[in-house]
Amino acid sequence: MTLQWKSWTRRAMVTGLAAALMPLLATAESAPQVKFQTSMGDFVIEVYPDKAPKTVENFLQYVKDKHYDGTIFHRVINNFMIQGGGYTTNGERPTRPPVPLEALNGLKNDLGTVAMARTSNPNSATAQFFVNVKNNDFLNAKGPADGYTVFGKVTSGMEIVNKIKVTPTGPGDVPQTTIVINSATLVK
């Protein structure tokens, strides 16, 4: 009876542990992914609606609306970040109203993470985003009204991001060779 009881207890513990871990595994597996096809190659990011819900909802709506298709990486600074999503070769794209700052979400502006660009107003992020090409601790939130909202991470194609970051630039950190986002597509 004791051996049978121990066996049943182990099975119950394993079953309980598996049940407890399933939501965590499902969340990790279900993170939406967006593929960027650029004139320099493709990269994929995953986004975290559980960490930055309003930011991710806003970003994915721009993806669904094809807003990013035909935009350029208009600001490239090696050893800092690459920024895009707001301009075409003909000028700035119109945007929807800004989203509130969600920078105190536990995510850091580390190498390969994706964050929203904004003005000096913390609640001014619209469509422009940037990929950190190094750890940029100074961009992390120290309080509720500062920092930059990290909402995703590059999961494949970081070598393309690294090619973009070393592109020669001119005034305003604008690449001398236009780098186009041909398309941004929700793939998962």
Tens-digit pLDDT profile for residues 132-171: 999 999 999 999 999 999 999 999 999 999 999 999 999 9
Spatial neighbors of 160 by CB under 8 A, at least 6 apart, are: 38, 40, 41, 42, 43
Which stretch of DSSP H or E encloses residue 28? helix 2-29
Contact at 8 Å (CB) between 101 and 145?
yes
Residue 141 and residue 153 in contact, taking contact as beta carbons nearer than 8 Å = no
Question: Rounded to whole angstroms, how far apart are CA atoms 139 and 149?
Answer: 9
Is the confidence at residue 99, as pLDDT, over 80? Answer: yes
Q: Could you read off the pLDDT of 49-98 as tens digits, one per residue?
A: 999 999 999 999 999 999 999 999 999 999 999 999 999 999 999 999 99
CATH placement of domain 31-186:
2.40.100.10
